[in-house]
Amino acid sequence: MKLSLSTLAAGIFYVASVDAASASQCRCVYGQSCWPSGSDFSQLQSLLSQSLLYPKPTASQCYSTSGASDDCSDVIANYTSGIWRSDMVGSMEAPNWESYIFQNGTIAACYPETNITGACDQGNVPVIAVDARTPADIQAAVNFSVMHDLRMVVKNTGHDYIGRSAGRGALMVWTHNMKNITHDGSFVPEGAPPNETYDAFTLEAGVQWFEAYAAANATGRVLVGGLSAGGSVGAAGGWIQGGGHSALSSNYGLGVDNAVEMTVVTSTGQYLTVNAHQNPDLFWALRGGGGGTYGVVTSVTYKTHPALPALVAIFSVNSTNSSLIQQLFTESYTMLPSLSDAGWGGYGGIDNTSVEFIYLSPNVSWAQANETWTPFFERAANLTSAGLNITAAETLQFPSFYTLYESFFGTPTGQNGGNVILGSRLIPREVIENNNDEMCTAIFETPGMSWNFVAGGKVSTVDPDSAGLNPAWRKAVVHITWGASWEDGASAEDIGQLAAGVKEQEARIRELTPESGCYFNEASPFEEDFRYTFFGDHYAKLKEIKDKYDPHQLFVVTQGVGSEEWDDELTCRV
């Protein structure tokens, strides 16, 4: 059986028997003769504010040194908590990226069920990490990596469906503990005229959305950010660099539309402030051109918005009659363009027996909300005699976005800790308006389908060339995702079959949206034309900017800008 990145997703491949660094144009990884010595790392340590760390996979504490099962009740109790996982340097939110598949199909990993392997292996988790607390820490790590030609990865929380935060044999820069939050009601970007002011928050690289939301709420303001279980996603890392969608985007734009300034360390060791007036090309690229690609972002400054009451529409139904489910789902999708125009956004999911969604808006009145939703809810009620069971169909009002967030997203468990690969697609407004039935049939027939209703509205009014973001976002109204998951201990062959299924489903959706693309942060690691799919017509410009600010080509991630120049392991030039 031949294994390759195009058929498997549990790890990044690396042929351990080959001394890659001995070949021309290859990075050095742990275990090779080129790996820095103890004295080399001691010199690095002397430049750092914190001790070097030695990451371990999440379940490693379940194993004793003899390989027998140890007490891992803490692991089992918190395994699906994004906040708990993000506090551990070696933990990834999707544990399949902690695993590593060798070319013979052997999987190196650590599992809570220790009898699966009997021993814990480092897998795809980097072997050493810099616990960055200051830009100087990051500069030291970058300079060290360039000097020794190391493979380097950047990790904040480890929320990543493509595995960019992990790397077997690599050095990690861990930004998670850079937690400073600063509010300035009249923030002026560096180099801007004094009358260009924003009510803004500056968030250091390790700030997570649950922390940022609380800080903004304390000042009566709102930040456009991600919504996930517990708010554990990083607010100033890969989220913004990939584009940054939000349930508030139809009102206020994407994350990239709300960022007014960033600070970043480049591969030359420079510490730069970037905005529309200073290094504007890099500012353009960092807003949607992909995380881990141009440098290490150390902070992001976001403009804020007034805290307003928020309306929520909740809908959840199930039935053994799948045609009823498909009917209601298709009808709900016809509403999406007008809903986005009215400022609604949110999330939903569907299978053969159920459909549910939660949509919110901070910019409509109670009367407007009822006018929008009552007819749809009444049509659903009329189907109960045909076998439809309604578990929720109502609108609710909250005094603020923050109280809504705490009510629906405050629990930190449920989203993380599962082995998963995704497929995804941005669905253009014109497809919903002109070919909704066929599109909805394809969605309905794709297992594991969910959607992020986070486009349209304000997102569609922004100049597509204002940021490095994939221009397909400006034509989209919804972002759909599907995927495959598996239990620990699945074989490489089984995982490969699941990956092949995701690719087949992807091909069907792509046929209906040939000129669209995907959201880089929630996508498949097997895109056949990632340059267009993730970056659209902006790719050539993004590549020029990368080459300018990363002359050492230190920042290389799976399917990121410039990665086509590297092998599947991202260690050797091709």
Distance CA 234, CA 299 (A): 11
Q: Which amino acid is at 267?
A: S
pLDDT at position 68, please? 46
Residues 143, 214 within the same domain:
no
Provide the pairing of β-strand 171-174 with 128-131.
Answer: parallel
- Say if residue 332 is in the same domain as residue 269: no
Q: In what order do the strands lie in the sheet with 152-155?
A: 128-131, 171-174, 152-155
What one-letter code names the amino acid at 364? V
Decide if 458 contacts 473 (C-beta within 8 A). no
Same domain for 75 and 155, yes or no, is yes
Angle between helices 366-381 and 322-334 (to 10 degrees): 150
- Give, to the nearest 10 degrees, the angle between helix 492-512 and helix 436-444: 170
H or E element in which residue 362 lies: none
**Cβ-contact 302, 200 below 8 angstroms:** yes
Contact of 424 with 481, CB cutoff 8 Å: yes
DSSP 189-203: -TTS-TT--EEEEEE
Q: Is residue 8 part of a domain?
A: no
In a domain, 9, yes or no: no
The verdict on 330 and 465 lying in the same domain is: yes
pLDDT at residue 65, as a whole number = 61
The CA-atom distances, in angstroms, between 170 and each of 25, 90, 125, 206, 419 are 16, 12, 8, 20, 22
Q: Kindly report the pTM of this predicted structure.
A: 0.94
Any residues with CB less than 8 A from the CB of 250 and at least 6 apart, and which? 339, 340, 341, 343, 344, 345, 361, 454, 455, 456, 457, 458, 459
Q: Are residues 101 and 131 in the same domain?
A: yes
pLDDT score recorded for residue 4: 37
Contact between residue 450 and residue 480 where contact means Cβ atoms under 8 Å apart: yes
Statement to judge: residues 292 and 261 lie in one domain: yes
The SS3 of residue 165 is: coil
What's the CATH number where 422 sits? 3.40.462.20
Distance in angstroms (rounded) separating the CA atoms of residues 111 and 61: 10
Give the number of domains in the chain.
Answer: 3
For residue 192, give the DSSP letter.
S
User: Is there a domain that residue 4 lies in?
Assistant: no
CA distances from 99 to 12, 110, 158, 417, 482 (A): 9, 8, 14, 13, 22
- Structure tokens given for 190: 């560096």
Separation of alpha carbons 517 and 458, rounded Å: 19
Give the domain CATH number at 302.
3.30.465.10
Q: Give the Cα separation of 51 and 367 in Å (integer).
A: 57
In a domain, 428, yes or no: yes
Do 491 and 432 sit in the same domain of this protein? Answer: yes
**Helix, coil or strand: residue 457:** helix
Q: Does residue 7 fall inside a structural domain?
A: no
- Report whether 415 contacts 91 (CB < 8 A): no
Number of C-beta neighbours around residue 16 at 10 A = 15
Instruction: Clarify whether residues 153 and 191 are in a common domain.
Output: no
Give pLDDT tens digits along the chain (574 positions).
333 333 343 343 333 334 434 445 899 999 999 999 999 999 999 999 999 999 999 999 999 764 444 578 999 999 999 999 999 999 999 999 999 999 999 999 999 999 998 889 999 999 999 999 999 999 999 999 999 999 999 999 999 999 999 999 999 999 999 999 999 999 999 999 999 999 999 999 999 999 999 999 999 999 999 999 999 999 999 999 999 999 999 999 999 999 999 999 999 999 999 999 999 999 999 999 999 999 999 999 999 999 999 999 999 999 999 999 999 999 999 999 999 999 999 999 999 999 999 999 998 999 999 999 999 999 999 999 999 999 999 999 999 999 999 999 988 877 789 999 999 999 999 999 999 999 999 999 999 999 999 999 999 999 999 999 999 999 999 999 999 999 999 999 999 999 999 999 999 999 999 999 999 999 998 888 999 999 999 999 999 999 999 999 999 999 999 999 999 999 999 9
Which residue segment(s) compose the domain that 392 sits in?
310-535
Residues 284, 476: Cα–Cα separation, whole Å: 20
Residue entry with tokens 């690229």: 285
Q: Does 38 share its domain with 102? A: yes
Q: How many residues does the chain have?
A: 574
C-alpha Rg value of the chain to the nearest Å: 23
Looking at the structure, tell me whether residues 355 and 498 fall in a common domain. yes
Per the DSSP assignment, residues forming a β-bridge with 347 are: 358, 452
Q: Is residue 481 classed as helix, strand or coil in its secondary structure?
A: strand
Contacts for 160 with CB less than 8 Å, ≥ 6 apart: 92, 93, 94, 97, 166, 238, 521
Inside any domain, residue 548? no
Q: Nearest Cα to 376, choosing from 313, 440, 454, 310? A: 313
**Which token pair is 306?**
């007034």
Return the half-sphere exposure (C-beta side, CA atoms, 13 A cut-off) of residue 406: 10
Cα–Cα distance measured from residue 177 to residue 157, given in angstroms and rounded to the nearest whole number: 10
CB-facing half-sphere around the CA of 499: CA atoms within 13 A: 23
The Cα–Cα gap between 181 and 216 comes to 10
How far is residue 362's CA from residue 345's CA, in Å, rounded to a whole number? 10
- Residue 341's CB is within 10 A of a number of other CB atoms, namely 15
Hey, is 254 helix, strand or coil?
Answer: coil
**Whether residues 430 and 380 fall in one domain:** yes
Domain membership of residue 403 (yes or no) is: yes
Residues 47 and 81 in one domain: yes
Q: Please write the tens of the pLDDT for every residue from 441-497.
A: 999 999 999 999 999 999 999 999 999 999 999 999 999 999 999 999 999 999 999
Task: Say which CATH number the domain at 171 has.
Answer: 3.30.43.10
Residue 549 maps to a domain: no
Helix (H) or strand (E) holding 376: helix 366-381
